[in-house]
Amino acid sequence: MRYENWKSHRLSKLKSTSLLLLLSSLLVVGGCSPLFGGEKSGDSAAVSLASEKIDPYVGEKSEVLSYVWTTRKELSLTFNGMADKKTMVSLLDALEQNNIPATFFLPGIRVAEEPEIAKMILDRGHEIENNTLNQKDLRNISYEQLYREVKLSNEVIQKETGITPRYVRTRSGEYNEDLQAITAQLGMDAVINYTINPREGDMQSAKSIGEYIERYITRGSIISMHTDINPEVVGAIPYIAKAVEKTGYKLIPLKELVDRGTKRKPLEQVTGYDEIKINPNYRAVKPNIFYDAPTEEKVIALTFDDWASDYTVTKILDILKEEKVPSTFFLIGKGVEKNPNLARAIYEQGHEVASHSYGHEVVTGMTPEELQEDLVKAHKVITEAIQAKPTMLFRPATGEIDENTAKIAMATGYKSIALYDVTPFDWDTANDADEIVKRIVNKRGDGSVIVLHILDGTQTIEALPKVIHTLREQGYTFKHMTELMRMKNN
């Protein structure tokens, strides 16, 4: 359907919607609505919702889910709104052809208008949730009005489909404390926001929408799209399916994603969350900078710095798992903050997780206060993400550090600055996989610490299996970095 025709169709529907709202309100006040309830029974009848005074809820508010805590390679595709029947059929066909189960947040008024579309969504194996009655802007609505928007939409959906919604989302995904309170008041499970919004409302092409989602795919993410803004959404479905398959992930229904997720402890309940602290008394600290282990044993440590997309990090984790290689990851806090599930996945796979600072600034250019605040922040972010105390090592950005800066860093609680003796400059996209392997082989020694990088667009993924196989052929075994450090201490 051409966009101009589609827009005209929606304007017609809006007029129909306004009429239906007016009639529905009158019917509710009259107490005999075919949409929102049955007949009243004399003096014992409940006060109709339209005239009922709604007191604000004072109990614990419902949580807001922008993503789900999980290390599973799973995420959910969700839609807001309900387009015309032709568009919805095309969308459902595209989902079926690509084996994608989705979750549809439907406006109650559209379900009342065309219940057969809602039933078709269910018949095709998808989920239905609450998109409020008519998708009003939260900034211009009272508590009582919002309560009715959510409750009436629940009732319409339940009456027309038999489904009782567990979740609510506004059209834009915005939320406030009133919506959280109302969700709890109505016995619903959560307010749903989103992790990925491909901005299809900007009228991007199907391919652009798919590429955007591919770029931001993460474990436990919730993709939010609209059925009734950009017709290109239908054509985007095959691109989304390919993006998920390329990453090795799976799209599952939202309820399943939430039910399979894990509960997270608050930061203050995680042991060791406060072991890195501001400490201005650093001048007497004896700096300890570790490069490699003085040993004649053929052992080596593979370490990884920085942060990247789920795709890149997952590929590296898959290689390490297949090769049974333990490693030490030095993660950038601001990256972990945006995707804590990925940091937890690294930890759960048995690798050491340590700090590479929060902002990845060169530490020799920072004031003592700035550096220590950065380290404390990074430690807390990483601790909360992995739900455990990180490995108590710090590696500075670019490996640059001096004696005074080492003292400042170690005064916060670190026992060592963890550097390396082998760097193949894999962060440089000009270096191909063979060049990376060659540089490592030429520089490695017994007890060496090799630094590689988790960065998008480099050749590290291609080089890693060759590095592992070559070093094993030379008789080397792989250890966590802390194991090499203990060898030095002994």
- Dump pLDDT digits (tens) for 83-101: 999 999 999 999 999 999 9
Q: Are 182 and 146 in contact (CB under 8 A)?
A: yes
CA distances for 52 relative to 28, 49, 444, angstroms: 11, 5, 76
pLDDT tens-place string over residues 248-289: 999 999 999 999 999 999 999 999 999 999 999 999 999 999
- The pair phi, psi for residue 56, each rounded to 5°, is -55, 140
Tokens linked to 107: 């406006």
pLDDT tens-place string over residues 191-218: 999 999 998 888 899 999 999 999 999 9
Does the pLDDT value for residue 151 go beyond 90? yes
| Average pLDDT for the chain | 90
Look at residues 420, 423, 447 and name the one whose alpha carbon lies nearest to residue 436.
423
Look at residues 203, 256, 337, 202 and name the one whose alpha carbon lies nearest to residue 78.
256
pLDDT at position 46 is 33
pLDDT tens-place string over residues 316-364: 999 999 999 999 999 999 999 999 999 999 999 999 999 999 999 999 9
pLDDT tens-place string over residues 405-435: 999 999 999 999 999 999 999 999 999 999 9
Given the structure tokens 């604000």, which residue do they identify? Answer: 56
Q: Are 213 and 74 in contact (CB under 8 A)?
A: no
Any residues with CB less than 8 A from the CB of 95 and at least 6 apart, and which?
A: 101, 102, 124, 126, 237
Does the pLDDT value for residue 366 go beyond 50? yes
Given the structure tokens 């419902």, which residue do they identify? Answer: 62
Average pLDDT over residues 58-72: 96
Q: Are 85 and 92 in contact (CB under 8 A)?
A: no
Domains, the chain: 59-259 (3.20.20.370), 272-489 (3.20.20.370)
Look at residues 377, 360, 371, 374 and name the one whose alpha carbon lies nearest to residue 282.
371
Which stretch of DSSP H or E encloses residue 291? Answer: none
Burial of 446 (0-12, 13-18, 19+ CB in 10 A): middle
The count of other CB atoms within 10 Å of the CB of residue 445 is 13
